[in-house]
C-alpha cells in the first residue's frame, strides 16, 4: 500500500490549513493580510474548495477573519481582545500546571529539556524563536492528555502570536527562556503553587510589559486628533 503523496496528515485540505497556519505564526502573513482563495489555491496547486475549507477552519481558530462576500484576511484582534485572551490563557495554563505538577515522566522531562535547549539555540533568529516559545506551552498542554485543554491552549498560543505581532514591543524577548527552565524545575519538584505563580508571572509580564498600552488600535479620527491639535487645526 503506497503512501498517497507528501500528504502530512489528513486530507489535502488539512495540508493547506497547516501551511497557512504556519505562515501566519511565522508572521510571513501579518495581521490584516488579504487571503484570496484563488491565488492561494493556485500557488498551492489545489482548488478553491480546499482553500475555502482551510480558511473556515482557521477562522474557527480565530486566526483568520472571514468577512462575508469580502474575503478572508489574517485576523487583527483588538488590544482588549488581547488582554482578555491572556486572562483566558492564564486560567487554562494554571490547570495545565496543576495537572502536570509532580507527575512528569522521565521521558516528558527530557522532551521539555530538549525543547528549552532548542529555544536557547534559536535565540538569534526572530521567527523561529517566537514559534519555539509558543510551542513550549503547547507541549506542556499536550502532556496533560486533556483533549479540550490541549486544543484551547493551542489556539490561544497561536492567537497570542498575532497579538504580539500587532501590539508587542519589537525587541521584547516575549518568553524568557530562563523562565521556561524555572517552570520546568518547579513542575518536576512538584511545587504546584510555585509553578502556578511562575506561570502567572510569565504570562502577566507579557500583558504588562510586552504589550504596548495603546496604538494602532484607535480609529483614524482619534489618531489624527493628536496631530490636529499639534498643528492648531480644528
Partner DNA sequence: TTTTGCCATCTTGTATGCAATTCGAGGAAT
Partner DNA sequence: ATTCCTCGAATTGCATACAAGATGGCAAAA
Q: If you search the block for the grid coordinates 489574517, which residue do you land on?
A: 74
Element (DSSP H or E) covering residue 155 = helix 147-167
CB-based contacts of 210, cutoff 8 Å, min separation 6:
164, 168, 169, 172, 174
Task: Say whether residue 48 binds a second copy (CB under 8 A).
Answer: no
User: Residue from 15, 73, 92, 175 that binds a second copy (CB under 8 A)?
Assistant: 92
User: Residue from 146, 154, 172, 181 that binds a second copy (CB under 8 A)?
Assistant: 146
Q: Residue 85: which of DNA, a second copy, none does it interact with, CB under 5 to 8 A by kind?
A: a second copy
Task: Say whether residue 38 binds DNA (CB under 7 A).
Answer: yes
Q: Are 207 and 168 in contact (CB under 8 A)?
A: no
DSSP one-letter string for 90-128: HHHHHHHHHHHTT---HHHHHHHHHHHHHHHHTSSSHHH
User: Residue from 6, 105, 145, 219 that binds a second copy (CB under 8 A)?
Assistant: 145
Task: Say whether residue 50 binds DNA (CB under 7 A).
Answer: yes
User: Residue from 19, 44, 46, 95 that binds a second copy (CB under 8 A)?
Assistant: 95
Task: Say whether residue 56 binds a second copy (CB under 8 A).
Answer: yes
Task: Say whether residue 35 binds DNA (CB under 7 A).
Answer: yes
Element (DSSP H or E) covering residue 34 = strand 34-35
Choose among 135, 156, 179: nearest CA to 91: 156
# residues contacting DNA (CB under 7 A)? 22
Mark the segment that binds DNA (CB under 7 A) among 41-49, 116-124, 156-164, 226-234: 41-49
Q: How far is the CB of 81 from DNA (least distance, A)?
A: 22
Cell readout for 19 is: 501551511
| Rg over CA atoms, the chain | 20
User: Residue from 37, 46, 48, 62 that binds a second copy (CB under 8 A)?
Assistant: 62
Q: How far is the CB of 52 from a second copy (least distance, A)?
A: 8
Three-class DSSP labels, 48-60: HHHHHHHHHHHHH
# residues contacting a second copy (CB under 8 A)? 32
Element (DSSP H or E) covering residue 151 = helix 147-167
Torsion of Cα atoms, 83 then 87 then 92 then 96, to 10°: 90
Cβ distance to a second copy smaller for residue 75 or 116:
75
Q: Residue 81: which of DNA, a second copy, none does it interact with, CB under 5 to 8 A by kind?
A: a second copy
Cβ distance to DNA smaller for residue 39 or 178:
39
Q: How far is the CB of 48 from DNA (least distance, A)?
A: 5
Amino acid at each position: 500500500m503506497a503512501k498517497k503523496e507528501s500528504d502530512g496528515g489528513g486530507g489535502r485540505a488539512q495540508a493547506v490549513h497547516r501551511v497557512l497556519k504556519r505562515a501566519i505564526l511565522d508572521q510571513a502573513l501579518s495581521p490584516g493580510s488579504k487571503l484570496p482563495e484563488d491565488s492561494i489555491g493556485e500557488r498551492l496547486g489545489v482548488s478553491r474548495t480546499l482553500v475555502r475549507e482551510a480558511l473556515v477552519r482557521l477562522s474557527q481558530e480565530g486566526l483568520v477573519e472571514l468577512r462575508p462576500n469580502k474575503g478572508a484576511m489574517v485576523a487583527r484582534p483588538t488590544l482588549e481582545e488581547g488582554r482578555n485572551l491572556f486572562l483566558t490563557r492564564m486560567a487554562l495554563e494554571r490547570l495545565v500546571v496543576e495537572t502536570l505538577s509532580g507527575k512528569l515522566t522521565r521521558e516528558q522531562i527530557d522532551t521539555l529539556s530538549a525543547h528549552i535547549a532548542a529555544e536557547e539555540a534559536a535565540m538569534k533568529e526572530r521567527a523561529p524563536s517566537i514559534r519555539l516559545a509558543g510551542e513550549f506551552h503547547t507541549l506542556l498542554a499536550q502532556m496533560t492528555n486533556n483533549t479540550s485543554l490541549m486544543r484551547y491552549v493551542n489556539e490561544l498560543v497561536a492567537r497570542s502570536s498575532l497579538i504580539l505581532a500587532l501590539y508587542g514591543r519589537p525587541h521584547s524577548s516575549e518568553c524568557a527562556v530562563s523562565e521556561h527552565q524555572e517552570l520546568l524545575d518547579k513542575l518536576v519538584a512538584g511545587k504546584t503553587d510555585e509553578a502556578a505563580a511562575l506561570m502567572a508571572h510569565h504570562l502577566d509580564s507579557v500583558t504588562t510589559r510586552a504589550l504596548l498600552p495603546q496604538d494602532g488600535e484607535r480609529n483614524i479620527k482619534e489618531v489624527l486628533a493628536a496631530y490636529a491639535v499639534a498643528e492648531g487645526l480644528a
